[in-house]
Chain A
Amino acid sequence: MGQVINNIFARSFRSLSRGRNVSGYLMIAPYLLHLVIFLGYPLVFAFVLVFHRWDIITPMEFAGLKNLTRLIHDDLFFKALLNTGFFLSIHIPLQIITALFFADLLNKKLKGQDFFRTIYFLPVVVSGVVVAILFSQLFAFENGYINGIITALGGERVPWLVSPQWAMPSIAIIVTWKNVGFYIILFLAGMQNIPASLYEVASLEGATTWQRWTRVTIPLLNPTMVTVIVLSTIGGFSLFIEPYMLTGGGPLNSTLSAVLYIYNQAFYFNHMGYAAALGFAFACIIFTIVFLQKRFVTKDMYS
């Protein structure tokens, strides 16, 4: 093994010394530097931090496994994980159903199709902070626009962001609204790849609209579906801006996401070592779930 590595290095140095590929190396140098400085170094540094106590401003102290021991006994971290899971369980199905519905509409030859495609994609490019401010007005309990409409129609006000039961579903609605445009585009691309002849055959065989949808469209969208599920899972795990801006993790920690909790530990309380331990634990959980998802969902979908 050592010999192989030595050979690789020797070859690289020889080719460098001969001037071959110098331009190539220079070309990739900025990205390589970026990768090492902004990804490689922080990753290694964060791993070192897991075993230290560090408040950023004073020298770090070796803490052994204390951060990990604390993590195991931290009820709030487990609550944050459960909250994130609850969010995903609402967000992912909602995202898929909404995106499929609108993608199907846009796939039909309707007037103003381009206009609607742009409109649906617009929230994706709007800053998350702006979206949060917008929804803080829409979802306000006493004087919000949506509750205004509900009460005008004779209904009761909904405690969107101020009830522990409603807050996380409300956040899931907001995140779905913001991201659905991206997934509409993915599904639309998938739908446009389905040969029209398949629908013609299904019609000739007497298939209803529902049957064409369930027997042709959905099965042939499976590869896109896998992509959408994996991307929304990874994106959903990083839930931060909406609870940070709208609820601060409340009410009663019901919207405290794992990332928000890690952020609070790191930047509110300066527990960098503990935050690093939480970060690594959370990364392991995401990795495991996405791995299982890829293994089982992909297998099921393609079969």
Chain B
Amino acid sequence: MLVADSHRRSPLPLTCFVFVLLFSLAACQGQEDSRGGTEGVIRLTYWSSQNPQERAVAKLLVEQWNRENPGIQVIVQPLPAGQSSEEVLLASIVAKTTPDVCSNVWPGIVTELVRANGLVALDQFANFDSLMSSRIPADLYDRFRSPDGHYHQIPWKSNPILLQYNAGLFRELGITAPPRTYSEFLDAAKKVYLDEDEDGHPERWIGNRKIHPIWHERRFDYYAFYLAASGGTTFDLDGKFVLNESVSDQVFSLFRELWKNEYYPMTELKGDPFDRGLIATKLVGPWNIARLRENATPGLEYAFSPIPVPDDYSGPAFTYGDFKNIAVFSTTRHPEEAWRFASYLVSKEADLLLLEYATQIPIRSDILTDAFFADYFAANPMVADFAGLVPNARGVGHLRAFPEIMDALAQQFEAASVFGVISPQEGTRKAVDRIRAIEDWNQ
């Protein structure tokens, strides 16, 4: 009885409960302040990319903005960690924790974000047209228009994928020019192959790719080679999936040869195998130039060339462009100010910083001819090679279930190319069948 009485009278549980409640309310209040903008100062949150170079650019830009705009203060944060920025953005849309502005939006998810009413239509703002025309020619506007007819992204940067090769090793092996065709690539692979201890397993390869059927990895090998071989034709034809099956067969066949002859390893090689001399080529975007400048082994000679194409291909070089754009999220309470800040992020000065710090290519139709960037490109001809390919870099279009479509292709890529258990033709056919089923399901 005494115990029961003491329990009934104990104020501890009630006190704890009240404290938890008060702390929760206080936390909510804090959140309100930081987002809402009190004391007359508007506060915006800006998510930048996570890599150190882009974070440095973002920090510089935001510091300058905050100095010049005391009434609109921006807090910059790197995108929260996740498997990919796409997953993080979708999760934050669901949780309604999106920033005001984000500069790392992959166009492949813009359609999804628009469907979720997650983005602000930018063509409502007065200077939208002039800003767009400064970045892309009018005939390319369509690439950035959402299916609802509005524009929800500012074209920011395009990183065309090229073949990085070990120029010193190529010279040593008598490979006089970087491989342009599949035959040349396979010939080079044969020369690079090195089995020093003659145990039947090489210690040096022409290149490497992840063998796991992970859809986003296939953008940088299968899809890049497909675009190069198809003259830049994407899978998206007015919202419908279209595949050039003979081109797909050719790409599957090339990679099948690479793995069958052990020109590509089965294992993921740790560290940077290119820098360690284990592989002679790598599929990369211009960002790798900044990375190599800081980390490459002294004496490593490298250069870039377009992605190899089938022997019978004639036409200009095309590739996959890893586009990232800027968007304003509909959770913002200050769309006008967010738009002003987003416009500031694509000023010429900001674009030059992006080139200098991150060696990434701003989308600007006159970038190679504008005197403002001339000194930079004169001093960085490798970056100019990438910039020259931007007009021929293709994204992923506006297909609704693009990740799932790529997953279907990744599954068959694994079967037909990595393990060679089915023919390339069968791989393509199975992928198409699966994609038709996915389209039916998603209708």
Contact = CB atoms under 8 A, between A and B. Distances in A.
Q: Do A and B come from one complex?
A: yes
Interface of A: 19-20, 22-24, 26-27, 29, 55-58, 70, 136-137, 140-144, 151, 157, 159, 162, 164, 247-253, 264, 267-270
A157 B195 CA distance: 15
Interface string B111-150: 0110110100000000000000000000000000000000
Contacts, number: 83
Contact of B211 (A157, A162, A268): A162
14 contacts: A22-B8, A23-B10, A23-B13, A57-B116, A57-B118, A143-B267, A162-B266, A248-B213, A250-B211, A252-B421, A268-B215, A269-B403, A269-B404, A270-B112
A29 B17 contact: yes
B419 A251 contact: yes
Given A57-B90, A57-B115, 19 more contacts: A20-B8, A26-B13, A29-B17, A57-B93, A57-B116, A57-B118, A58-B116, A136-B268, A141-B267, A142-B266, A142-B269, A144-B267, A248-B212, A248-B214, A250-B213, A251-B211, A251-B419, A252-B421, A253-B411
Most central of B118, B414, B421 by chain A CB within 10 Å: B414
Contact of B267 (A22, A142, A269): A142
B17 A249 contact: no
B199 interface: yes
B265 interface: yes
A19 B9 CA distance: 10
B340 interface: no
B418 interface: yes
B191 to A, nearest CB: 19
Q: Is the interface of A mostly helix, strand, loop or mixed?
A: loop
Contacts of A251: 211, 414, 418-419
Interface in B1-37: 7-8, 10, 13-14, 17
Nearest to B112: A57
Contacts of A19: 8
Contact of A140 (B90, B267, B419): B267
Contacts of A29: 17
Nearest to A265: B404
B270 interface: yes
Contacts of B90: 56-57, 270
Nearest to A25: B13
Contacts of B404: 268-269
B213 A249 contact: yes
A39 to B, nearest CB: 20
Contacts of A151: 199
A272 to B, nearest CB: 10
B407 interface: yes
A298 to B, nearest CB: 39
A270 B212 CA distance: 20
B87 interface: yes
A277 to B, nearest CB: 13
A251 to B, nearest CB: 6
A142 B266 CA distance: 7
B116 A23 contact: no
Contacts of A252: 414-415, 419, 421
A240 B171 CA distance: 46
Name the residue in A57, A162, A251, A267 with the highest tally of chain B Cβ atoms < 10 Å from its Cβ: A57
Nearest to A164: B419
B265 A142 contact: yes
A137 B270 CA distance: 9
A183 B214 CA distance: 34
B14 A26 contact: yes
B169 interface: no
Contact of B266 (A159, A249, A267, A269): A159
Interface in B193-217: 199, 201-202, 211-215
Contacts of B199: 151
A72 B14 CA distance: 52
B55 to A, nearest CB: 25
A267 B83 CA distance: 11
Contacts of B401: 269
Contacts of A270: 90, 112
A143 B197 CA distance: 13
Contacts of B202: 142
Interface string B364-377: 00000000000000
Contacts of A247: 212
Most chain B CB neighbours (cut-off 10 Å) among A56, A142, A252: A142
A26 B21 CA distance: 13
A11 B377 CA distance: 82
A27 B13 contact: yes
Contacts of B201: 142, 157
Contacts of A26: 13-14, 17
B94 interface: yes
Contact of B414 (A22, A136, A250): A250
Nearest to B11: A23
Contacts of A55: 112
A250 B17 contact: no
A58 B94 CA distance: 9
Interface in B81-121: 87, 90, 93-94, 112-113, 115-116, 118
Nearest to B434: A76
A169 B365 CA distance: 54
Contacts of A253: 213, 411
A267 B87 contact: yes
A58 B114 CA distance: 10
A268 B407 contact: yes
A57 B411 CA distance: 26
Contact of B7 (A24, A70, A157, A267): A24
A270 B111 CA distance: 14
B212 A250 contact: yes
Contacts of A157: 201
Interface string B428-443: 0000000000000100
B106 to A, nearest CB: 15
A113 B441 CA distance: 59
